[in-house]
Chain A
């Protein structure tokens, strides 16, 4: 006879059977039965300081490990605080499962204390969600939710469990078999005809580019992409979330594309005769003006989600399927290609603009974010897991930290969620305890979720936090500089003394003002046992170059002025 369990016990027992070892959460009334049962199960619970943090931690955990991250919260405000983190995971296809308590099923719909229609609120921002009001459904729903979250195109799944379903008892029945959902098709395949057309286009292309997106990482197709690129001599450009999908140091690597992508990458895309879009979705930050996007190029789009085809950019061939599975069929049919003329053309484009790189300019004594990030890259040998926030520092990270490994850059791309970095880094560190984890955040975004420093202290987590502190909401300031006549409305930002703040939390703080201090400080932080909060006081009005203004053609970039100084400062004057 099967053992009798309460719904609360079933929550944890199901998670344990799913292999979950760590969850991120915050207790409250409607989830209390589950929390009471938590003590009896071998699961590490990380107490967050805000439920948004729990979702970002689960997200960071998922992105670092590839496993499903789990967050838990109570009804009402606990659940609504999760909304931003769920939407972040949705837009970046990150597999997380959020479990929320709900008021008793008998009082649903009565505006009971802390009642919110959570499945209603999260419907458009989850891959799927469930309201569980019967104890018998708890275990099968968790099994199903974990499967839905990680299979196909991954995404967030929410399970709202009523308090009475947690309190009631039933026989534990666990069916470890794969879930079979009649309407769910995570494994669609393209037709032979589509393959044939793709092969013809690729073999006939003289100026092809692979556009590697997040799907490369999610599918684990790094090796296959590299093999295809090398075999056919096709250069690879990456989206922000595709970074790490192809080694930065590889000779065929072009770098990042898009709004703040490298100039030569965007130029090359505009001149290409074939785009091979691998697990990317032609986001507007990647295409610029879609009407003039890659006007000379045929397009082959491979994606596991057919609803992405022809959404933003019309494509010539669309191959549905898991990228790795598709490439395994496709690559043997691709001819070895001599594309040296094309590669030389790109090299020329690159040569012209590389001199404008901030690294090549003489040391003015000023501290630039690019210096800080590039030094962190050198000192960590490019081996750290870097979790960024959103804004200028995020783009500089993408430009100046060269990632060779998949899942080594964790960043909120699609939703652009400020406040993501610190909690996501906690999740990443718990997913990969042996990894060196760095946060790169701005002074603005860091202050959105800095309460999670307390979580770091309580959980005794060691990461390093580099705050790129320019006293502005820098990216917004940059837009104001370019497009709003430097009218800096609400972008100057007062911050606390971050190094002292760190000490308040029992962590280590540092403040760095000069370029010469960057290397010794980073080295000291790496050697330090505790989490270190490093306050880098960088140039206030530095600008991310190049920049494709929103809606402009991809090759119509605002470029770094070639003559020094890079940034006019009070000292320069």
Chain B
């Protein structure tokens, strides 16, 4: 079954690599992974979708916690959660008739058109995966030229929120070392 993890990590170089390496090394398959900043400076949040049984998910959580840069792991699966994904789809609209049909479908799905050219439109929508799949299915006969999806992001419903300890930023915010003429770089 699919498990969705919210993983709070320190925003440091190489952390994504550590996470990806862990999944690879322990033979877990990442279905999707998104990462971005959070409300807390220095903390990034990943949403990782992974296919695993319940014991595997528990072990994965424990393994994630072993990474020093991982602040908090939260398995959203089985909780009342909101999941969203964003997709951008380029559809061929070679005739006026096709364009009309496509625009009607966009309306029905409450999607948006973000670009129009002579022979194509770009459609944007957000939603749970099944809504996106539904839209894709009806658009496909017209000719989907290109599409890109962000992968799932998720959050537990209600006022409860996950608190994360704020990491010490003094060693991550350092700007590049000054050019120091006295230092030789030869080895």
Contact = CB atoms under 8 A, between A and B. Distances in A.
- A and B: interacting chains: yes
Interface of A: 29-30, 75, 101, 103-107, 112-114, 119-120, 123-124, 127-128, 131, 133-134, 136-137, 140, 148, 163-164, 167-168, 181-185, 305-307, 309-311, 314
Given A307-B62, A309-B58, A309-B59, 19 more contacts: A105-B177, A112-B185, A112-B187, A123-B17, A123-B18, A124-B25, A127-B68, A137-B171, A148-B68, A163-B187, A164-B185, A167-B184, A168-B177, A182-B165, A182-B167, A183-B9, A310-B55, A310-B59, A314-B55
Interface string B137-168: 00000000000000000000000000011111
Given A119-B14, A123-B21, A307 B66 contact: yes
B107 interface: no
A75 B65 CA distance: 30
Contact of B10 (A112, A182, A309, A314): A182
Contact of A183 (B55, B58, B71, B174): B71
Contacts of A131: 13-14
B59 A183 contact: no
B97 interface: no
Given A119-B14, A134-B174, A163-B187, A185 B62 contact: no
A119 B167 CA distance: 21
A105 B175 CA distance: 13
A536 B185 CA distance: 51
Contacts of B13: 131
Interface string B69-98: 111100000000000000000000000000
The 9 A-B residue pairs with the shortest CB-CB distance, nearest first, are A104-B185, A29-B187, A307-B62, A182-B165, A183-B71, A306-B62, A307-B63, A128-B68, A164-B183
B62 to A, nearest CB: 4
A380 B187 CA distance: 49
A311 B177 contact: no
Contact of B185 (A103, A124, A136): A103
B166 A182 contact: yes
B183 A183 contact: no
B180 A168 contact: yes
A75 B165 CA distance: 35
A278 B10 CA distance: 33
Given A133-B177, A307-B62, A307-B63, A183 B70 contact: yes
Contacts of B59: 307, 309-311
B67 interface: yes
B68 A181 contact: yes
Nearest to B164: A182
Contact of B187 (A114, A137, A183): A114
A127 B66 CA distance: 8
Contact of A134 (B66, B70, B177): B177
Interface residues of B, number: 36
A181 B165 CA distance: 9
B62 A163 contact: no
B171 to A, nearest CB: 6
Nearest to A136: B174
B175 to A, nearest CB: 10
A560 to B, nearest CB: 38
29 contacts: A30-B187, A101-B187, A104-B183, A104-B187, A112-B185, A119-B14, A120-B17, A123-B18, A124-B21, A127-B68, A131-B14, A133-B177, A136-B171, A137-B171, A163-B185, A164-B177, A164-B183, A167-B182, A167-B183, A168-B177, A182-B165, A183-B9, A183-B65, A183-B165, A307-B63, A309-B58, A310-B55, A310-B59, A314-B55
A113 B165 CA distance: 41
Contacts of A30: 187
A138 B97 CA distance: 67
B68 A168 contact: no
A183 B68 contact: yes
A148 B167 CA distance: 16
Nearest to B25: A124
Contacts of B9: 183
Contacts of B182: 167
B187 A305 contact: no
Interface centre among B21, B59, B66, B165, by most chain A C-beta atoms within 10 angstroms, is B66
B10 A183 contact: yes
A313 B183 CA distance: 55
Nearest to B71: A183
A191 B13 CA distance: 35
Contacts of A183: 9-10, 65, 67-72, 165, 167
A437 B184 CA distance: 45
A307 B62 CA distance: 5
Interface centre among A112, A120, A181, by most chain B C-beta atoms within 10 angstroms, is A181
Contacts of B185: 103-104, 106-107, 112, 163-164
Nearest to A29: B187
Nearest to B185: A104
Contacts of A305: 62, 66
A42 to B, nearest CB: 28
Nearest to B13: A131
Contacts of A119: 14
Contacts of A113: 187
A167 B181 CA distance: 12
Contacts of A185: 65
A25 B14 CA distance: 27
Contacts of A137: 171, 174
Interface centre among B10, B72, B186, by most chain A C-beta atoms within 10 angstroms, is B186
Given A124-B25, A183-B69, A140 B187 contact: no
A75 B187 contact: yes
A106 B177 CA distance: 9
Contacts of B187: 29-30, 75, 101, 103-104, 112-114, 163
Contacts of B66: 127, 305, 307
